[in-house]
Structure 1
């Protein structure tokens, strides 16, 4: 449950290996590719420009496009700190000229203040790039052959939550482990074998970090610690389309105590779906005609309210596994149904077989299920092999369910069907997207305790991912839209 951070000691051989890795990349060629195919000025909101140049009431020493270009390159080349960014600008003529720093370069404190002062405008820049990114993905999808495994994945909307784990005192492994050990000692001294030391330690830990109350005790990536939590939306190709941090107003609406960290994670994740998805779709209607058809998420988002909301949003199919904690088995007629809405055999409660949807003339959509011991011959005729049949029909017991009666149980797709098994694994692409975002050193373990700086860094990293899509499309290499490493290798 706990994650022990293993801090890696600096090693000269690792540093040499990192430098040798640069020889396989073409950073100068990439800068040229970026300059020829991407114009950042066309995406900068007018409000951003006005705020930047009016903030001091006098002319700025550095152009806005120059500052943003350097910060984006910082994310592309995984430069961990603004101090190193300033050094790169000092020693690299190519990067300095690309950013149009001819006479002087900003110091690291300037970059830090910039991210703090304009993090909201950086978020608006990221959002301004989304409509064109969606259109590019749509055009790429149209060019794919019909038998391509990536066909129509851009019409899938995937949502998940994660968190940034800054270097606060409470995230020190000794702090967490010492509390667990204290609870273990207490359980041993009182001979209380029922006491869960991990759950008890969780309840005793402070609910937020002393350095910043926005860094909350939460359960992320299989362990609990102190995180600045956010929600991410991607399409079926793993392209980030929206980032939403959970602020104090979100937590204020869920002011309650939890017995275990797992309960807290479920409650927070479940409640976050609507506040993240709704404004994104409303904004998309104003900026694009594109419409997402399918929604994918994990079982943390299972609730009647969420399924009702997703149905109102117009999703044709929702791929969200049901959480067993929400409902037990139900009974309709003489058949029981499990939590996934699948009929159970009245003898041994074996799952019925899914036969797929069927819809006759002037009939509502139905899902057909057949006896688990039924089979079909070569001609497609159905017969059963049950020793104690519950029907006189040779084909065996058959039943129908009507998805319109309960969208949560039947969200346009059967949960044990081949379609579900083929589509749902694609949810893993958002996990890869989160892993890619966090591979950036300034995101993986933020050095700053300022939430403004953390938000700015994550949005800048997201911007670099969208630029990757634009560049791959510009050079007709759609297979490179998800990884900038390949572009770094082929750029000449």
Structure 2
């Protein structure tokens, strides 16, 4: 199918939502009443658990609670307090939600705390529903899978900018002391301050220190996937260590996390939706890893991933002999020496080769490499090391060249996921709502995703009436 740079995206029309709601809220409610039956999207297990204790004697129905949260998200109401105030004021909103009286704040909070897993199941059910609708609207955009990592800041003390500044002031004071003792000291103030930051927030162990969104903070890390429309396909709260170990820079640490998180995330996604098929996968440079290319190749998905310059060494690259053994970069007559298999959690096993002029010995009970070379090709004391995965050539041997027009136009579609993530964060208004609980935060995220998919279904169903597919302005008319 030919690729156009002016594809139709859900985000092209979502920006018109605010104007639409402000001008004609009653029309919105009537359209939701006409085209959306929320009970169709509620899994039976969700209803069963919700009514398991009190049965039909619950003061507020499951449908009413869900509609209240969906309305809150679509209208970008920042807090539950404001939602309650609007429900008290607006008879139309209360009638739409089916409330005879307005729930109090604790009832909304308990709903999020008690039914987080059920909200996740409902979200995945809506993903199944909207997948078929997306294919009907545009098969090409629905054949694209885009993944990116992000973080949701929790309302903890450590996320106050003053917290890091206090650590920085202590580091500067310590640096002055070192300067007096050693005028030639190369003490790194920022690195020291970062090392003194606690690994997780004192009030919530799930809020871990990360370098995300261009700054340090205490986040609930997640991996989000969308299709070419920008419709959320998956939210995975995959976790791994993401600290400043091995003297890595913050960006290198983030890249390492991104690269390792993709395969577990996609494995979980395809286990929930085994019938989903995609032709293209789009990802940024953080996902540029040999294992990811091999995994996508096995899934018959074409990877469109930009190269990460931090993964490309400026050292001379070794050639290979006729049996696949790498050769010394400066003397091809010397084959490198096999040194076993490197195994690391979250990565494929790699064959390790070391410099032929390195002697491996045991010093004080520890394995030590001693290099004896007059003209070494690296500054490393261990000499040159080459590690090969079975599928290491997939990274460069892409299905079509990275400098081709088709590759460039496809990669431009990747930015749609950044707008989707921004939309979800705008829905939950996390800084305004001041969420402290991890469970409540996850429920807010799933409710935001549910709201986006319900809005898409509304737009899809209303197109038959307005003859203008996915154009919100046609609904106003």
Which TM-score applies when normalising by structure 2? 0.74
More deviation in 413-422 or 465-474?
413-422
2:223 matched to which residue of 1?
231
1:178 matched to which residue of 2?
166
- Matched residue SS, 1:330: coil
Distance 2:455 2:469 in 1: 8
1:348 matched to which residue of 2?
none
1:411 matched to which residue of 2?
398
Contact 1:160/1:430 (8 A) holds in 2: yes
1:117 matched to which residue of 2?
114
Contact 1:155/1:294 (8 A) holds in 2: yes
Distance 1:23 1:98 in 2: 15
2:280 matched to which residue of 1?
294
1:217 matched to which residue of 2?
209
2:77 matched to which residue of 1?
79
Which TM-score applies when normalising by structure 1? 0.72
1:224-268 deviations in Å (ceiling 9; x for gaps): 11111111100112111111113xxx337x798353322321222
2:60 matched to which residue of 1?
62
1:197 matched to which residue of 2?
189
Contact 1:158/1:430 (8 A) holds in 2: yes
Residues 88/489 of structure 1: CA separation in 2 closer, same or farther (3 Å cut): farther
Deviation at 1:55, TM superposition (A): 3.0
CA-atom RMSD, angstroms?
A: 2.7
Deviation at 1:183, TM superposition (A): 2.2
Pairing partner for 1:107 from 104, 120, 128: 104
Deviation at 1:185, TM superposition (A): 3.7
Deviation at 1:178, TM superposition (A): 2.1
1:133 matched to which residue of 2?
130
1:295-325 deviations in Å (ceiling 9; x for gaps): 011111121111111111220x211122233
- Alignment map for 1:363-442 (pairs within 5 Å): 406-440=393-427, 442=429
Pairing partner for 1:322 from 295, 307, 323: 307
1:41-75 deviations in Å (ceiling 9; x for gaps): 11101110000000346721211111111111111
Contact 2:72/2:83 (8 A) holds in 1: yes
- Matched residue SS, 2:240: helix
Residues 127/429 of structure 1: CA separation in 2 closer, same or farther (3 Å cut): same
Deviation at 1:129, TM superposition (A): 0.5
1:264 maps onto 2:256 in alignment? no
Deviation at 1:128, TM superposition (A): 0.4
Structure 1 gap segments, 5+ residues each: 1-19, 143-151, 334-403
Pairing partner for 2:32 from 20, 23, 34: 34
Distance 2:28 2:308 in 1: 46
Distance 1:107 1:314 in 2: 50
Structure 1 residue ranges (4+ consecutive) displaced by more than 4 angstroms after TM superposition:
20-24, 477-481
1:153 matched to which residue of 2?
141
More deviation in 153-162 or 23-32?
23-32
1:438-485 deviations in Å (ceiling 9; x for gaps): 12353355512111110111111111111121111112279875xxxx
Residues 409/70 of structure 1: CA separation in 2 closer, same or farther (3 Å cut): same
Contact 1:273/1:301 (8 A) holds in 2: yes
Distance 2:411 2:94 in 1: 45
Q: How many residues align?
A: 382
- Alignment map for 1:239-258 (pairs within 5 Å): 239-246=231-238, 250-251=239-240, 257-258=245-246
